């Protein structure tokens, strides 16, 4: 078969001693591309193959330590950072209690990585198209013979010379092994494509029908047709004939705080703005102002309403009257409304209202700046290298 | 009688040729199932179906079908879980610890024991899940980012259990498969049937018995054995913490981890013996799984049985020495209370009967060994029953005492789990080599090069 490429020459030996002596000789004689196939590991063969021990243990070491580090930090993150829980009065990072899982996970990852590394990286398996497979030689060495193979890629390789050489070492059943023919992948065969199409159509049809049709047919529609009461329906079960269960009289919702100053025009007589105009408070105030106030009062509080023509425009907040309002009075207006402005008590929390007031004061200050403000701005601009005038 | 102890005993009797070993090990796989095999399989599958029905009813009606009550909430399910996990331990001990100790006789029985480990852990893993009553919630034990934004409680011994048992199952499975790869290659090259050949090729991954591969393979086998050894000791230790970390009298004890591990190996070896005695006869493997194997396993059963007996006695001592009236009461309640019969079944099967193995004649007698190892299995099941039921049914508060009575569903699931186990064993014996072909060849006579250079 001249069109086939030669892979190598094989020989069989009857005893472990025979193969070991042959192996030593082959190595001595300077061959490089050789291998031995034995039904079980032969003592002393490792030294012929390589003088150094297998390095696969480093995979175990690396992945074992990585697994330990990962799972320890993972448990710390879940129980102390992501969802901190005090369990049995123990600290968030109880190291002794984390030891068992750390150990188990270390072993798990070390074993899986070592075996994967051995099979896929060191052995380059699966490799079911290897030339040696499915030969008479392979059938013998997986049972009771000990085989040697010298590959054609060896620099010293000469077909007839190697055949004689293996015979001289005591090898029997010399066999020439050829590379297998190129695999023809049948993936793009029309038959297979038609099969794939049918599978795709069938599985999408089954999925569609079961999710969109079947689920609405008995007995799968039990979720749709449950016995239940709706809030506005008449009840045959409860004595008051109402399906809706109202809370008992006097029930107070969690977190509810009564507003004591309804109708008081200026709450400043009781208390002032509890929030200081810090960066955080002003950012909150700006956000809420732009959301709730700016549609009528304008983005800068100057009364340039975006709803011009649809709703009466809000007055400017830069007028002397508004500047003269106390914080408590503005708070009362936001809470209770004024003229056509409705109450915002349900949209804006108390804290947010005070933050908005702080922000309004900033807007007012920027509308009527003092000379000292310019000095301050110039100073900060100079420091940040942002000089414009 | 003088013996030359410098020469190792032959592991295989009769010095068969390597090909003859292939033939005898692969014969059950190639031959059509016999009538005996079919009868055995029908019995085990019947048991399996009984379990399936009982579990189905349990899922439909809820765990109220079982005899579990408050305070005995763990009852049969956890007893069975601990029992089956324990059975698994012998497999890893044989395949990993005896490998590290260079015990060559293990090669004949390692494959079978490893398979038993996997099947026993499968049986064991089932019980905590069905014990939940709502088995679909088991997924919450896996730490994954869920919509509740919460994580498993990694401080709980029950979560340690999940990690320990699932790691154990995975590692055992990988270890088993790594050992099977060369055997799949042998099967592949013997197969004449095209379908069989394809399946074996797939699993053999194209293994070629290359010396370049064997070099890494042996190293990795050593590493796996080294990792599996502390793992197997850790698994039953973690299981024992399920109990020892609680404050129930009779559970809260520091001797539990070594006591459980010894008990696990004890029961595991008993189960390996029970099954192997049948396998060697049915498959004509008396020369591979020899009477020496049985004797060596009986010695280990004697040793671990004595360790378990020692633990029972230490429990008595500690209940007195601790000065806690509750501990002393629990010890007395075990021996003379409503479950005294279970306690004395456990004592006699685990402590007294295995002592007969001091006699060489009994160690080497197959029928007596079979009776004794079955008794050990019974005794070890009752050990877990005694630990769980006596402690839970009578704890600190007499007002919450409640005796436990199992129902027919409890028994159905218990016997059904044996059905599952033996069905898997029978299927394994028919589809895969029950003895590691490569390993048994490596310990046959003249398998290794002589020191005279082969002249």
Every domain of chain B and the residues it spans: 18-142+155-442
| B402: CB partners within 8 A, 6+ apart | B69, B70, B71, B72, B393
Q: In 10 A of CB A185, how many CB atoms? A: 8
Q: Which tens digit of pLDDT belongs to each residue from A261-279?
A: 777 777 777 777 888 888 9
pTM of the entire predicted model: 0.77
Task: State residue A256's pLDDT score.
Answer: 81
For A61, the token pair is 């070491």
Task: State residue B1's pLDDT score.
Answer: 47
Task: State residue B228's pLDDT score.
Answer: 92
Q: Contacts of residue A112 in chain B, CB cutoff 8 Å?
A: 170, 174
Radius of gyration of chain A (CA): 43
Task: State residue B298's pLDDT score.
Answer: 92
Phi/psi of residue A223, nearest 5 degrees = -70, -30
The pLDDT of residue B117 is above 70:
yes
Separation of alpha carbons A358 and A333, rounded Å: 15
Task: State residue B389's pLDDT score.
Answer: 93
DSSP single-letter state for residue B10 = P
For B53, the token pair is 């029905």
| A56: CB partners within 8 A, 6+ apart | A114, A117, A118, A122, B216, B219, B220, B223
Peptide bond into A126 cis (omega under 30): yes
Arithmetic mean of pLDDT, B415-420: 95
**In terms of pLDDT, which residue wins out, B187 or B19?**
B187
CB B217 within 8 A of CB B179: no
Task: Write down the mean pLDDT value for chain B.
Answer: 89
Contact A57 B223 (CB under 8 A): yes
The pLDDT of residue A2 is above 70:
no
Residue of A78, A111, A151 to mutate, interface with B, max B Cβ within 10 Å: A111
The pLDDT of residue B366 is above 60:
yes
A149 CA: distance to closest CA in chain B (Å): 10
**In terms of pLDDT, which residue wins out, B306 or A142?**
B306
Q: Which tens digit of pLDDT belongs to each residue from B321-350?
A: 989 999 999 999 999 999 999 999 999 999
CB A95 within 8 A of CB B155: no
Q: Which tens digit of pLDDT belongs to each residue from A211-257?
A: 898 888 888 887 788 888 888 888 888 888 888 888 889 888 887 88
Contact B143 A87 (CB under 8 A): no
Contact B211 A36 (CB under 8 A): yes
CB B132 within 8 A of CB B73: no
Task: State residue A389's pLDDT score.
Answer: 47
Q: How confident is the model at residue B242 (pLDDT cuts 50, 70, 90)?
A: very high
- In B, minimum Cα distance to A120 occurs at B205
C-alpha dist (Å) from residue B437 to B38, B100, B214, B408: 25, 19, 15, 44
CB A35 within 8 A of CB B212: yes
The pLDDT of residue B276 is above 50:
yes
Q: How confident is the model at residue B454 (pLDDT cuts 50, 70, 90)?
A: very low
Task: State residue B7's pLDDT score.
Answer: 60
Q: Contacts of residue A43 in chain B, CB cutoff 8 Å?
A: 448-449
The pLDDT of residue A17 is above 50:
yes
Q: In 10 A of CB A78, how many CB atoms? A: 19
- DSSP string across B15-74: ---HHHHHHHHHHHHHSPPPHHHHHHHHHHHHHHHHHHHHHHHHHHH-GGGSS--SS--S
Would you call B365 helix, strand, or coil by DSSP? coil
The pLDDT of residue B162 is above 60:
yes
Q: Which tens digit of pLDDT belongs to each residue from B373-404?
A: 999 999 999 999 999 999 999 989 999 999 99
Arithmetic mean of pLDDT, A322-333: 86
B207 touches chain A (CB under 8 A): yes
Find the range with the poorest average confidence among B85-89, B235-239, B277-281, B324-328: B277-281
Find the range with the poorest average confidence among A89-98, A195-204, B13-22, B419-428: B13-22
Contact B205 A57 (CB under 8 A): no
- In B, minimum Cα distance to A145 occurs at B18
Domain B18-142+155-442, CATH homologous superfamily name and number: Formate dehydrogenase/DMSO reductase domain (1.20.1630.10)
Helix (H) or strand (E) holding B230: helix B211-244
Task: State residue A209's pLDDT score.
Answer: 93
Task: State residue B285's pLDDT score.
Answer: 81
Instruction: Find the CB nearest A143 among B174, B186, B211.
Output: B186
Contact B164 A44 (CB under 8 A): no
**In terms of pLDDT, which residue wins out, B168 or A387?**
B168
C-alpha dist (Å) from residue A63 to A103, B32, B221: 13, 45, 17
In percent, the amount of chain A with pLDDT more than 70 equals 96
Q: How confident is the model at residue A1 (pLDDT cuts 50, 70, 90)?
A: very low
- In B, minimum Cα distance to A47 occurs at B215
B22 touches chain A (CB under 8 A): yes
The pLDDT of residue B134 is above 50:
yes
The pLDDT of residue B172 is above 60:
yes
Instruction: Find the CB nearest A45 among B211, B216, B439.
Output: B211
Q: Which tens digit of pLDDT belongs to each residue from B48-77?
A: 999 999 999 998 888 889 999 988 999 899
Task: State residue B230's pLDDT score.
Answer: 92
Question: Looking at chain B from residue 237 to 296, which residues have their Cβ under 8 Å from any Cβ of chain A?
Answer: 238, 241
Separation of alpha carbons B249 and B392, rounded Å: 9
B111 touches chain A (CB under 8 A): no
B221 touches chain A (CB under 8 A): no
Per mean pLDDT, which of A82-86, A314-318, B267-271 is the most reliable? B267-271
Arithmetic mean of pLDDT, B276-290: 83
Contact A133 B206 (CB under 8 A): yes
Task: Write down the mean pLDDT value for chain A.
Answer: 85
Contact B149 A20 (CB under 8 A): no
Contact B154 A35 (CB under 8 A): no
The pLDDT of residue B84 is above 90:
yes
Contact B231 A57 (CB under 8 A): no
DSSP single-letter state for residue B99 = H
B325 touches chain A (CB under 8 A): no
Task: State residue A76's pLDDT score.
Answer: 92
């Amino acid at each position: 078969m001249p069109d086939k490429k030669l892979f190598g020459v094989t020989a069989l030996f009857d005893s472990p001693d025979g193969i070991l002596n042959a192996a030593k000789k082959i190595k001595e004689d300077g061959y490089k591309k050789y291998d031995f196939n034995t039904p079980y590991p032969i003592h002393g063969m490792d030294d012929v193959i390589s003088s150094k021990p297998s390095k696969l243990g480093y995979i175990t070491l690396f992945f074992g330590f990585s697994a330990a580090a990962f799972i320890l930090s993972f448990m710390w993150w879940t129980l102390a950072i992501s969802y901190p829980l005090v369990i049995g009065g123990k600290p968030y990072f109880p190291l002794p209690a984390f030891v068992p899982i750390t150990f188990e996970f270390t072993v798990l990852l070390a074993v899986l990585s070592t075996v994967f590394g051995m099979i896929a990286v060191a052995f380059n398996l699966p490799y079911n198209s290897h030339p040696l497979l499915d030969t008479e030689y392979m059938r013998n060495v997986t049972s009771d013979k000990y085989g040697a193979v010298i590959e054609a890629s060896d620099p010293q390789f000469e077909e007839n010379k190697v055949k004689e050489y293996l015979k001289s070492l005591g090898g029997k059943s010399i066999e020439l092994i050829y590379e297998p023919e190129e695999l023809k992948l049948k993936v793009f065969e029309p038959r297979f494509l038609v099969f794939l199409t049918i599978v795709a159509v069938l599985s999408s049809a089954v999925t569609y029908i079961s999710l969109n049709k079947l689920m609405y047919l008995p007995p799968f529609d039990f979720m749709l047709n449950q016995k239940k009461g709706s809030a506005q329906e008449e009840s045959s079960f409860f004595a008051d004939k109402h399906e809706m269960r109202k809370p008992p009289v006097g029930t107070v919702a969690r977190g509810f705080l009564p507003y004591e100053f309804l109708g008081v025009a200026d709450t400043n007589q009781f208390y002032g703005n509890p929030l200081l105009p810090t960066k955080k408070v002003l950012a909150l105030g700006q956000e809420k102002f732009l959301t709730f106030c700016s549609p009528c009062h304008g983005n800068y509080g100057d009364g340039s309403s975006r709803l011009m023509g649809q709703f009466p425009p809000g007055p400017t907040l830069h007028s002397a009257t508004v500047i003269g309002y106390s914080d408590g009075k503005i708070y009362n207006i936001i809470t209770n409304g004024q003229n056509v402005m409705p109450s915002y008590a349900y949209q804006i929390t108390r804290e947010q209202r005070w933050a908005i007031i702080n922000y309004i004061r900033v807007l007012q200050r920027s509308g009527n700046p003092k000379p000292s403000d310019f000095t301050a701005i110039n100073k900060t601009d100079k420091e940040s290298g942002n000089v414009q005038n | 009688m003088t013996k030359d102890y410098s020469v190792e005993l032959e592991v295989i009797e009769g010095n068969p040729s390597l090909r003859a070993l292939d033939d005898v090990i692969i014969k059950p796989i190639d031959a059509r199932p016999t009538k005996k095999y079919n009868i055995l399989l029908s019995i085990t599958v019947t048991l399996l179906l009984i379990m399936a029905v009982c579990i189905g009813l349990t899922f439909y009606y809820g765990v109220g079908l079982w005899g579990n009550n408050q305070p005995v909430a763990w009852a049969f399910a956890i007893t069975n879980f601990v029992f089956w996990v324990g059975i698994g331990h012998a497999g890893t001990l044989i395949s990993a610890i005896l490998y590290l100790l260079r015990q060559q006789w293990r090669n004949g029985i390692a494959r079978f024991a490893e398979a038993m480990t996997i099947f026993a852990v499968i049986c064991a893993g089932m019980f905590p899940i069905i014990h939940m009553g709502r088995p679909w919630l088991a997924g919450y034990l896996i730490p994954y980012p869920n919509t509740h934004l919460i994580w498993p409680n990694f401080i709980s011994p029950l979560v340690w259990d999940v990690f320990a048992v699932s790691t154990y199952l995975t590692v055992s499975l990988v270890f088993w498969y790594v050992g099977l790869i060369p055997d799949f290659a042998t099967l592949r090259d013997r197969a004449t049937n095209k379908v069989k050949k394809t399946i074996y090729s797939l699993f053999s991954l194209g293994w070629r018995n290359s010396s370049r591969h064997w070099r890494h393979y042996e190293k990795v086998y050593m590493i796996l054995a080294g990792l599996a050894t502390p793992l197997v000791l850790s698994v039953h230790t973690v299981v024992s913490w399920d109990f020892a970390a609680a404050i129930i009298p009779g559970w809260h004890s520091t001797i539990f981890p070594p006591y459980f591990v010894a008990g696990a190996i004890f029961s595991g070896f008993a189960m390996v013996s029970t099954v192997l005695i049948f396998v060697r006869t049915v498959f004509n493997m008396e020369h591979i799984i020899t009477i020496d194997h049985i004797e060596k396993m009986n010695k280990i059963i004697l040793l671990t049985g004595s360790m378990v007996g020692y633990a029972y006695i230490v429990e008595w001592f500690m209940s007195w020495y601790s000065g806690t009236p509750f501990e002393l009461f629990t010890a007395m309640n075990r021996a003379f209370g409503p479950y005294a019969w279970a306690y004395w079944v456990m004592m006699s099967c685990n402590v007294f009967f295995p002592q007969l193995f001091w006699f060489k004649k009994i160690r080497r007698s197959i029928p007596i060994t079979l009776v004794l190892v079955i008794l050990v299995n019974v005794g070890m099941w009752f050990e877990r029953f005694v630990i769980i039921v006596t402690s839970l049914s009578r704890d600190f508060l007499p007002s919450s005492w409640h005796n436990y009575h199992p129902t027919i569903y409890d028994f159905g699931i218990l016997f059904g789990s044996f059905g599952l186990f033996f069905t898997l064993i029978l299927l394994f014996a028919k589809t895969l080599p029950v003895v590691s072909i490569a390993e048994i060849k490596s310990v046959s006579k003249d398998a290794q090069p002589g020191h005279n250079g082969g002249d």
